[in-house]
Structure 1
Amino acid sequence: MNDQRPLIIIVAIALVGVVLLTKLFLIQVADDSFLKRAERNAIQRVVDHPYRGLVYDRKGNIMVYNNPLFDLMVIPREFSVKDTARFCEIFQISKEQLIEGYTAARKYSPVKPSPLIKQISTTDFARIQDYLIDYPGLFVMTRAVRSYPQPSAANALGYIGEISANQLERDTTKYYRQGDYVGLSGVEGFYEKELRGVKGVKYKMVNVRGVDKGAFKNGEYDTASVAGHNLTSTIDLALQQYGEMLMAGKRGSVVAIEPKTGEVLAMISSPTYDPNLLTGAKFGTNYLELNRDESKPLFNRPIMAMYPPGSIFKIVQSLVGLQMGVLNPNTTYSCNRSLVACHNHPSPVNLFGAVKYSCNPYYHQAYRAMINREVSSNTFKDTELGLNAWREYVLKFGLGGPLGVDLYNEKGGSIPSSNLYDRKYGAGRWKYSTIYSLSIGQGEMLVTPLQMANLAAIFANKGYYYVPHLVKAIDGDPNKIPSQYRTKMDVGVDAHHFDMIQDAMAEAIYGTAARAAIQDITIAGKTGTAQNPQGEDHSVFVAFAPKEDPKIAIAVYVENAGWGGRAAASTASLMIEKYIRGEITRPALEEYVLAGKFM
């Protein structure tokens, strides 16, 4: 038995050896999971961010393009610094910034890359790139920020910025990651999905010091990014720039529309700002300064400012009255100034004269005829029913709610209903004498400059409009824009009612806005003066031209500039001439507008 012990020991050792060899074989040959783990430890997954789509104006001029910048990324677990002072000197950041950036990155993930220093310029990148080898866990990711060759249309184009935590939570597609950039306003925000493109991924080998050793498996698993779609804007850049020049030193809006399509030719918010300020590393600082500016350059007045429309609303009143059958071209009222103030003009006037001379008492009486239809024996109830019926007509003109322009945060104004007055005065406790200011576009009525320009387009088109929009094609294809911008909207007023109204608007130019007349171009327009309890009244003007074949509809709203024939009509006239003729033949009028400083 003792003689067999060595043999048993040898067999046991042999069996153990076989087991160990078998296990080793399984680990190294049959099972590649350990190999894959090793490979992952030596592989960096780098997201390839696509270039955002470019934005052109309607004539093919570039409005927005991409400018390459670099983000210094850090993988916290691999990152180490022996000499903090030298690191901060090389990368030109403070010790506090380094600690803050590293802490935020480690909180996000100790093994995933996060931005440590954002938006490094090409010049600074050239200076630091040779030092990256000295710091494991660092690498550079190429980014693109927006650049604007012409500092125009800032409020319409919008800007991009780093995605917020709330936006990340709402991202059900899981497209975005911390540190990504996203459109935050304007066209950039509304068309984010079209502009952003498709991300790619690259896998690269790195050694223990984090030095790039080339593509993993020759790029077999890499996917290329796909650039975003290019947008052709409806904006006429030359017209936009000219309008911004005219509005310098003023507070207000100019919106010009091509009536037959709803394409926005110019959208000017004044005061404005240079869109290049909201790009690059100084985005945060510049944004705070702009946001604190008392003139509110970030406030997009064409779609967000709401004002009483003033006398321009008399055109809507005329058309509604004609369609309701309450008015006809021969309906005549006296200019009874005991009802409401008015300026000197012949009296009495028919509907043509009421439009031409902008007669306030006429519309006071005409509106009362529309509202108090004697459909009820109760005067209060009669007014309520009349107001609600009238309101249904007015809403079809694109008032009382957002039009649906391709920009976020559009306001809808207000066309008051009986519910509003019931809450304000009590049910059955108000009547026509309570609401008569609506007859001339005052009171609780509010509209935006965009809605005013759309009214001008409706007057030009004799009863229809297309929802105003700022993008006319995606990758050159006009059929790719949202269908709502290719759908005709009818306002429910017969086309023949517009004939007399257009003629009266053309005559009105020589009555209340003679300065706006252009030789050989017939303008149909309407001035307005919106009351302002806080100071000088606001100057309002809407128009379209040429009257025979309208190419442009426009609304100008200049705050604190007085009556509409002053600043607003002159500005609109110059814009019309610039668009139709391509040049200005009235330098004296241009000087008159530029001299007006109303802020």
Structure 2
Amino acid sequence: MNEQRPIILSIAIILVGLIIVARLFSIQVLDDSFLKRAERNAIQRVVDHPYRGLVYDRTGKILVYNNPIFDLMVIPREFTVKDTARFCEIFQISKEHLIENYTAARKYSSVKPSPLVKQISTTDFARIQDYLIDYPGLFVMTRSVRSYPQPAAANALGYIGEISARQLERDTLKYYRQGDFVGLSGIEGYYENTLRGVKGVKYKMVNVRGVDKGPFKSGEYDTASVAGHNITSTIDLALQEYGELLMAGKRGSVVAIEPKTGEILAMISAPTYDPNLLTGAKFGSNYLLLNRDDSKPLFNRPIMAMYPPGSIFKVVQSLIGLQMGVLNPNTTLSCNRSLVACHNHPNPVNLFGAIKYSCNPYYHQAYRMMINREVSRNTFKDTEIGLNEWREKVMKFGLGGPLGIDLFNEKGGSIPSSKLYDRVYGPNRWKYSTIYSLSIGQGEMLVTPLQMANLAAIFANKGYYYTPHLIKAIDGDPTKIDIKYRTKIEVGVDSHHFDMVQDAMAEAIYGTAARAAIKDITVAGKTGTAQNPQGEDHSVFVAFAPKEDPKIAIAVYVENAGWGGRAAASTASLMIEKYIRGYITREALEEYVLVGKFM
């Protein structure tokens, strides 16, 4: 037995040796995970952030460009500060902020860089750069933020900001990392994937103290960033700026559209704000101030505010009645003020006169003729059937749901259905007398300013529209925009019905909106005064011009400004002249709008 012990021991040693050799072979030859871990400890991965695409107006003027900013990065193991007060003074950071960020950096990694001070402006960087050599472990990483040469179109352009935790969770492609900037609203948000570009990566060798030792494998695995695509917007900067000037000090909206294409020429939300406020290091504090402002400058009224359309809707009623065969140009009805209030005008009137003079009783009676057509012996059921059929026709005009503009958070307004009245009053417990206010664009009906401008485009085009949009081309190529913005949408009304309606709208300018008349330019329009239970009525006006070959369709809402023929019509008329002529000939009217004393 004693003689066998050396043999057994030798065998055991050989087996252990073989196992160790096999394991080493596996680790060093077959399994490269340990090599990769070692390389990760020695290689620093630096993301090369791309420049976002630029945004231009329709004439080639720059609306949004990139401005360099700097993040002060820290490698905790190398960083030392002898005089904390002086450091905080130089870098304009509080002691609490310094401790908080440095602690977070150490928690993340003692040898990898983390941001210590974010979004340093070029001015501040020029001031601090000579001090960087005094503080080991600090270096600067260059990034970019958006900048706006003109403080215009803020609600349309939108803004970018640091990505949120919720957005990171939704990023299934894992493109973003904490601290990245992303489009949060407007064009910046909707076209984020187009504007953001493609990130690049650089790999640097570092020693155990994190000191840069040059590129890894001579940059073999580095990839260059690719700048985002440039966007040409449909906005006409000169018209946009003029509209914002006219709406200064007021609340409301202006939307102007090129009828033949659906391209939005101007989209004004009043009050607005300077988009430069939401850039750089003061984004957070400025956003809070704007968000708390009672006038709601961040609220994008053209696509989010909803109002009763008022008398403007009478044009839609006229067209639906003509298409149904219930009305014709010679249909004459009395201005019976026992039905609903009206103003002085010739009596009775035909359909042309009803549009021209905006006769409320006419549309009260005409709407009853559309709704109650005795298709059922049950009066309640007859009204229900008529309302639902009428609603389908109205919704073809782009009402009752979002149009599909290239902006997030668009509201769709409301065109009430029988289900709404069943819910409120109960089935078979309502009839025409319950809903007659819809005949003149009041009651439960709501629209957005964008939808009203689109109606003006429909009237101009004699029965069709293109989905309103804010993008004209990507990298100069108009075919790269979404096909839905190049697709004609018919509203289901024969084009010949629009001839008389256009003539009546042109005559209406001299009846209810004389301020909208422009010498040598035929304007076709319709005023409205949208009722407001919370205060003074809203002034509303839609128009297109020139009537013979429309170049612009426009809708103006001025909140709490009363009659549509004053504030809204005057503003729209000036905008039309500015776009078609390029200059204003009616200085007195311009002064009237700028002063804003409409009541």
TM-score by length of 2: 0.92
Question: Could you tell me how far apart the structure 1 residues matched to 2:340 and 2:31 are?
Answer: 94
1:40 CA drift (Å)? 3.8
Does the CA-based 8 Å contact 2:527-2:541 persist in structure 1?
yes
The corresponding residue for 2:67 is 67
State the shift of 1:31 in Å. Answer: 10
Q: Deviations over 1:230-272 (max 9, x none)?
A: 0000000000000000001110000000000000000000000
| Distance change >3 Å, CA 398–CA 370, structure 1 → 2 | same
Change (3 A) 1:25 1:186: closer
How much has 1:394 moved relative to structure 2?
0.2
CA contact (8 A) 2:567 2:598 kept: no
Match of residue 174 from structure 1: 174
Aligned to 1:16: none
Report the alpha carbon displacement of residue 24 of structure 1 after superposing the two structures with TM. Answer: 11
Matches of 2:401 and 2:108 in 1, distance apart?
Answer: 43
Structure 1 365/111 Cα, relative in aligned 2: closer, same or farther at 3 Å? farther
Cα distance between partner residues in 2 of 1:299 and 1:333: 43
> In the alignment, is the contact (CA less than 8 A) between 1:307 and 1:446 conserved in 2?
yes
Equivalent residue number for residue 464 of structure 1:
464
Which residue of the partner structure matches residue 55 of structure 1? 55
Q: In the aligned structure 2, how far is the partner of 1:311 from the partner of 1:106?
A: 66
Q: Where in structure 1 are there 5+ consecutive unaligned residues?
A: 1-18
Q: 1:76 to 1:488 in 2, by over 3 A?
A: farther
Q: Using the TM superposition, give the Cα deviation of residue 561 of structure 1 relative to its aligned residue in structure 2, in angstroms.
A: 0.7
Q: Which residue of 1 aligns with 2:189?
A: 189
Deviation of residue 101 (structure 1)? 2.0
Contact 2:77 / 2:209 at 8 angstroms: preserved in 1? no
The CA distance in 2 between the partners of 1:531 and 1:23, in whole Å, is: 84
For 1:32 and 1:359, the matched residues in 2 are separated by 84
Q: Pick closer, same or farther for the CA change 1:26–1:379 going to 2, 3 Å.
A: closer
Whether 1:160 and 2:152 are equivalent positions in the alignment is no
Letter in 1 for 2:355: V
Partner of 2:11: none
- What is the deviation of 1:117? 1.3
What aligned pairs does 1:519-558 form with structure 2 within 5 A after superposition? 519-558=519-558
Partner of 1:14: none
Percent of pairs identical after alignment? Answer: 88
What is the letter of the counterpart of residue 562 of structure 2? G
Corresponding letter in the other structure for 2:570: S
Between the aligned partners of 1:403 and 1:323, the Cα distance in structure 2 is 23
Question: How far apart are residue 104 of structure 1 and its match?
Answer: 3.9
Residues 136 and 210 in structure 1, CA contact (< 8 A), matched pair in contact too: no
- In the alignment, what sits opposite 1:272? 272
Aligned position for 2:14: none
1:421 aligns with 2:421: yes
State the Cα deviation string for residues 368-401 of structure 1 (Å, max 9, x = none).
0001111111111111110000000000000000
Q: Which amino acid aligns with 2:146?
A: R
Give the C-alpha shift of residue 42 in structure 1: 3.6
- Map 1:346-357 → 2, pairs under 5 A: 346-357=346-357
For residue 279 of structure 2, what is the amino acid of its counterpart? T
Contact 1:249 1:597 in 2 (8 A): no
Query: Where do residues 46-445 of structure 1 align in structure 2 (5 Å cutoff)?
Result: 46-76=46-76, 81=81, 83-105=83-105, 113-132=113-132, 135=135, 137-207=137-207, 209-445=209-445
Does the aligned pair in 1 maintain the 2:472–2:478 contact within 8 Å? yes
Superposed CA RMSD: 2.6
Q: Hey, what's the Cα distance between the residues in 2 that align with 1:88 and 1:510?
A: 68
Matched residue SS, 1:205: strand
Q: Give the match for residue 6 of structure 2.
A: none
Does structure 2 conserve the Cα–Cα contact (< 8 Å) formed by 1:114 and 1:179? Answer: no
Measured at CA, do residues 469 and 366 of structure 1 come closer, stay the same or move farther in structure 2, by a change above 3 Å? same
Quick check: 1:251–1:598 contact (8 Å CA) kept in 2? no
Judged with a 3 Å threshold, the aligned counterparts in structure 2 of structure 1 residues 241 and 574 are, in CA distance, closer, same or farther, namely same
- Other-structure match for 2:566: 566
Q: How far apart, CA to CA, are the structure 1 residues paired with 2:421 and 2:23?
A: 87
Aligned-partner residue type, residue 581 of structure 1: R
Are the aligned partners of 1:197 and 1:229 in contact in 2 as well (CA < 8 Å)? yes
The separation in 2 between residues aligned to 1:208 and 1:374, in whole angstroms, is 89
Within the alignment, does 1:454 sit opposite 2:454 as a pair?
yes
Q: Distance in 2 between matches of 1:437 and 1:381?
A: 19
1:260 partner SS: coil
> Judging changes above 3 Å, is the alpha-carbon distance between structure 1 residues 204 and 250 closer, same or farther for their aligned structure 2 residues?
same
Q: Give distance in 2, aligned partners of 1:240 and 1:200.
A: 37
SS of equivalent to 1:149: coil
Q: Kindly state the Cα deviation for residue 121 of structure 1 after the two structures are TM-superposed.
A: 1.3
Partner SS, residue 201 of structure 1: strand
C-alpha distance after superposition, 1:543-562 (max 9, x if no partner): 00000000000000000111
Contact in 1 for aligned 2:155/2:269 (Cα 8 Å): yes
SS for the counterpart of 2:543 is strand
Contact 2:562 2:598 (8 Å CA) reproduced: no
Equivalent residue, structure 2, for 1:15: none
CA shift in 2, pair 1:342/1:586, >3 Å: same
Tell me the distance in 2 between the aligned counterparts of 1:502 and 1:293.
42
- Superposition deviation, residue 137 in structure 1: 4.8
**Any conservation in 2 of the 1:403–1:412 contact (CA below 8 Å)?**
yes
How far did 1:207 drift?
4.6
Aligned to 1:46, the other structure's residue is in SS state: strand
Distance (Å, rounded) in 1 between the aligned partners of 2:238 and 2:363: 39
Tell me the matched-pair count. 583
Using the TM superposition, give the Cα deviation of residue 515 of structure 1 relative to its aligned residue in structure 2, in angstroms: 1.2
- 1:505 corresponds to: 505
Residue 487 in structure 1 maps to residue 487 in structure 2: yes
Query: Would the alpha carbon gap of residues 436 and 34 (structure 1) be closer, same or farther in structure 2, given more than 3 Å must change?
Result: closer
Relative to structure 1, the CA distance from residue 522 to residue 358 in structure 2 (aligned partners, 3 Å threshold; closer, same or farther) is same
Deviation sequence 1:303-330 (CA, Å, 0-9, x none) = 0000000000000000011111111111
Distance in 1 between the 2:20 and 2:574 partners?
92
Q: Distance in 2 between matches of 1:29 and 1:371?
A: 84
Structure 1 residues 436 and 111: CA distance shift in structure 2, 3 A? farther
Cα distance change on mapping 1:83 and 1:382 into 2, 3 Å:
same
Distance 1:387 1:206, change over 3 A: same
- In 2: Cα distance, 1:334 partner to 1:112 partner: 83
Q: Is the 8 A contact 1:133 1:211 kept in 2?
A: no
d(CA) in 1 for partners of 2:127 and 2:480? 44
Distance, in Å, in 2 between the alignment partners of 1:279 and 1:323 is: 52
What's the TM-score, normalizing by structure 1? 0.92
Taking the aligned partners of 2:234 and 2:27, their CA distance within structure 1 comes to 64
Matched to 2:284, the amino acid is G
Deviations 1:61-115 (A, max 9, x none): 0000000001123455665555544443332211211222234445566665432
